[in-house]
């Protein structure tokens, strides 16, 4: 830690102009390819370099970006996008409809990690050089909302550099290089060490930032990142360790920017009958809804928020936070904490005497391991025996995909800011062909929810749609499909001369940063 700070101190001693800006992140974006990995660190960073047809404003609303306007076609057969003229990529080539068609083919290809976004799309048609029709297999009123992270890549650049398809495993030219239309372009890139950005001179929109050079440094240990912020080595860090937020507020040199993320932290359960192929962990103990309800009633969420989260988070009642579209007000009551009832339920459901294998990440969510430990203790107090296994996120997803769990911790932030999103990924029965339920590790399944999902997706009337979303929320609550715990807080730290805009998707958008 000290050696790192020393290295920073030397870097700081060099003359710097006022408009240089450096920030630290916990996880280095693993690729510069916008279609190769669908994860928040990658998409959040690349939003500064690439742009989509639409983008999200400071209040998360959808606004025009590479498309100037869009309108539904006929009775909901698709959407027509009118593209912006005069936009150039960072290498100087011009943007037109061919790039959109190419980016659709690339992002929806089998090699891409983003293909599930295009599940409702049947085909994409080039009408003329600056008009594109995206046809959907069923009416899809929220489609423009769902593609803000679909970034457009230059077809000529990709072809010239042999990067026409993403390559997650081996990587290709687009893994280390980028050529978008966005406000910043990559000046140098050293994976896991440092990435430098400079403004894109030919950007089409009005420039709000005043940055001339940006440096991003990955610092994994959040205490080290905090030390770097306090000493002025970096101007911005995300996140600030939650236990340090209060003390930082008394420091005039730095400021803490707090908010509520769109991410809901929840417990999931193995609900697949029969043992998993690996024969590890998975038993049938959580097939019984009473067993899941026992867990729900045994966990004292307010106590977790009071101590581990230091009063900085809100209890969640469903898979989305109240700020999301389609949040069910009717189902806003969280599970009540009742250890005695939980103990009785656990005994009824045959949980007593079995060891629950509980998987938990230790570097993905705020204080994730401490929360899992607290849950382990609370379940023990209600007579349940839990074996906790906390691991880094790189081991965590494979472990969940291999079904090696009875119970697990998951955080979900709906990319569309709509309650339909978690139903598609977490609520519907897993179905690889239809690209549904792809993060439903425990294979929760309910026929009514599966039937409601396409109706929700194509419903245009808001009241009718909300009625269906309420019904899904009620089913999932009654059946204890998941146990929503809390909405994760956002804690950013910046030097006091830095102005930033915090959005609930936890994306750090450089074009809104000013250095005073």
If one asks whether residue 386 binds other proteins (CB under 8 A), the answer comes out as yes
CB-based contact 436:312 (threshold 8 Å): no
By CB under 8 A, name the one of 22, 179, 404, 416 that touches other proteins: 404
By CB under 8 A, name the one of 377, 394, 401, 448 that touches other proteins: 377
Nearest to 68 by CA among 81, 57, 59: 81
If one asks whether residue 285 binds other proteins (CB under 8 A), the answer comes out as no
Distance CA 343, CA 432 (A): 38
Provide the minimum distance between the beta carbon of 371 and other proteins in the complex, in angstroms, as a whole number: 10
By CB under 8 A, name the one of 69, 129, 329, 381 that touches other proteins: 381
Provide the minimum distance between the beta carbon of 125 and other proteins in the complex, in angstroms, as a whole number: 51
Residue holding tokens 């700081």? 12
List 424's β-bridge partners, or say none: none
Which segment (8-16, 186-194, 316-324, 379-387) binds other proteins by CB under 8 A?
A: 379-387
Provide the minimum distance between the beta carbon of 276 and other proteins in the complex, in angstroms, as a whole number: 11
Nearest to 295 by CA among 488, 480, 443: 480
* Cβ-proximal residues to 400 (8 Å cutoff; 6+ apart), any chain: 359, 408, 441
If one asks whether residue 223 binds other proteins (CB under 8 A), the answer comes out as yes
CB-based contact 144:79 (threshold 8 Å): yes
Q: Which is nearer to other proteins, 7 or 223 (CB)?
A: 223
Distance CA 338, CA 341 (A): 6
Q: Which is nearer to other proteins, 293 or 374 (CB)?
A: 374
Provide the minimum distance between the beta carbon of 249 and other proteins in the complex, in angstroms, as a whole number: 12
Q: Which is nearer to other proteins, 388 or 475 (CB)?
A: 388
If one asks whether residue 390 binds other proteins (CB under 8 A), the answer comes out as yes
Distance CA 35, CA 20 (A): 29
If one asks whether residue 247 binds other proteins (CB under 8 A), the answer comes out as yes
If one asks whether residue 355 binds other proteins (CB under 8 A), the answer comes out as yes
List, in sequence order, every beta strand (DSSP E) within 172-328: 184-190, 194-199, 213-218, 236-238, 254-269, 314-315
Q: Which is nearer to other proteins, 36 or 219 (CB)?
A: 219
Distance CA 427, CA 496 (A): 43
If one asks whether residue 244 binds other proteins (CB under 8 A), the answer comes out as yes
Nearest to 98 by CA among 116, 120, 125, 77: 125
A 10 A CB-CB count for 371 gives 22
Rule CB under 8 A: which of 13-32 touch other proteins? none
Which segment (74-82, 157-165, 327-335, 370-378) binds other proteins by CB under 8 A?
A: 370-378
Which segment (88-96, 168-176, 325-333, 377-385) binds other proteins by CB under 8 A?
A: 377-385
Rule CB under 8 A: which of 295-324 touch other proteins? 300, 303-304, 306-308
For residue 206 the two structure tokens come to: 């009005």
If one asks whether residue 251 binds other proteins (CB under 8 A), the answer comes out as no
State which H helix or E strand residue 228 sits in: helix 222-230
Binding footprint of other proteins, residue count (CB under 8 A): 36
State which H helix or E strand residue 20 sits in: strand 20-25
Burial of 110 (C-beta count, 10 Å sphere; 0-12/13-18/19+): exposed
Rule CB under 8 A: which of 118-177 touch other proteins? none
Task: Give me the residues that bind other proteins (CB under 8 A), please.
Answer: 222-223, 226-227, 241, 243-244, 246-247, 280-281, 300, 303-304, 306-308, 355, 357, 362, 369-370, 373-374, 376-381, 386-390, 404
């Amino acid at each position: 830690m000290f050696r790192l700070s020393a290295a920073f101190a030397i870097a700081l001693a060099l003359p710097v102009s006022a408009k240089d800006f450096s920030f630290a992140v916990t996880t280095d974006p693993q690729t510069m390819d916008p279609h190769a990995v669908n994860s928040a660190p990658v998409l959040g960073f690349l939003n500064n370099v690439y742009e989509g047809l639409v983008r999200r404003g400071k209040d998360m609303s959808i606004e025009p970006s590479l498309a100037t306007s869009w309108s539904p076609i006929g009775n909901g057969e698709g959407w027509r996008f009118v593209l912006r003229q005069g936009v150039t990529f960072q290498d100087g080539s011009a943007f037109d409809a061919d790039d959109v068609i190419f980016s659709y083919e690339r992002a929806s290809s089998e090699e891409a990690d983003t293909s599930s976004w295009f599940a409702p799309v049947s085909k994409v048609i080039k009408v003329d050089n600056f008009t594109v029709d995206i046809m959907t297999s069923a009416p899809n009123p929220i489609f423009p909302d769902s593609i803000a992270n679909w970034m457009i890549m230059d077809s000529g650049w990709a072809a010239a550099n042999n990067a026409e398809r993403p390559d997650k495993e081996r990587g290709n030219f687009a893994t280390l290089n980028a050529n978008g239309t966005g406000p910043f372009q990559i000046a140098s890139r050293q994976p896991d060490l440092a990435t430098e950005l400079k403004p894109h001179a030919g950007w089409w929109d009005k420039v709000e930032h005043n940055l001339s050079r940006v440096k991003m440094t990955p610092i994994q240990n959040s205490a080290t990142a905090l030390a770097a912020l306090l000493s002025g080595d970096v101007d911005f860090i995300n996140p600030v360790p939650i236990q340090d937020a209060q003390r930082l507020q008394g420091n005039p040199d730095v400021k803490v920017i707090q908010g509520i993320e769109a991410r809901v932290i929840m417990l999931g359960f193995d609900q697949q009958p029969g043992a998993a192929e690996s024969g590890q962990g998975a038993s049938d103990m959580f097939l019984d809804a009473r067993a899941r309800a026992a867990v729900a009633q045994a966990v004292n969420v307010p106590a977790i928020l009071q101590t581990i989260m230091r009063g900085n988070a809100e209890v969640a009642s469903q898979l989305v936070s109240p700020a999301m579209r389609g949040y069910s007000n009717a189902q806003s009551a969280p599970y009540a904490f009742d250890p005695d009832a939980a103990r009785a339920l656990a005994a009824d459901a045959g949980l007593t005497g079995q060891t629950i294998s509980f998987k938990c990440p230790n570097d993905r969510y705020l204080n994730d391991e401490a929360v899992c430990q607290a849950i382990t203790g609370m379940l023990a107090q209600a007579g349940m025996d839990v074996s906790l296994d906390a691991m880094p996120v790189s081991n965590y997803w494979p472990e969940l995909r291999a079904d090696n769990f009875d119970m697990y911790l998951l955080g979900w932030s709906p990319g569309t800011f709509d309650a339909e999103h978690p139903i598609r990924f977490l609520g519907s029965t897993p179905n690889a062909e239809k690209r549904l339920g792809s993060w439903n590790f425990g294979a929760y399944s309910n026929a009514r929810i599966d039937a409601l999902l396409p109706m929700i997706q194509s419903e245009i009337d808001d009241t009718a749609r909300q009625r269906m979303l309420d019904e899904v929320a009620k089913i999932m609550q009654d059946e204890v499909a998941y146990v929503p715990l809390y909405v994760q807080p956002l804690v950013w730290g910046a030097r006091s001369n830095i102005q930033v805009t915090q959005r609930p998707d936890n994306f750090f958008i450089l074009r809104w940063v000013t250095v005073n």
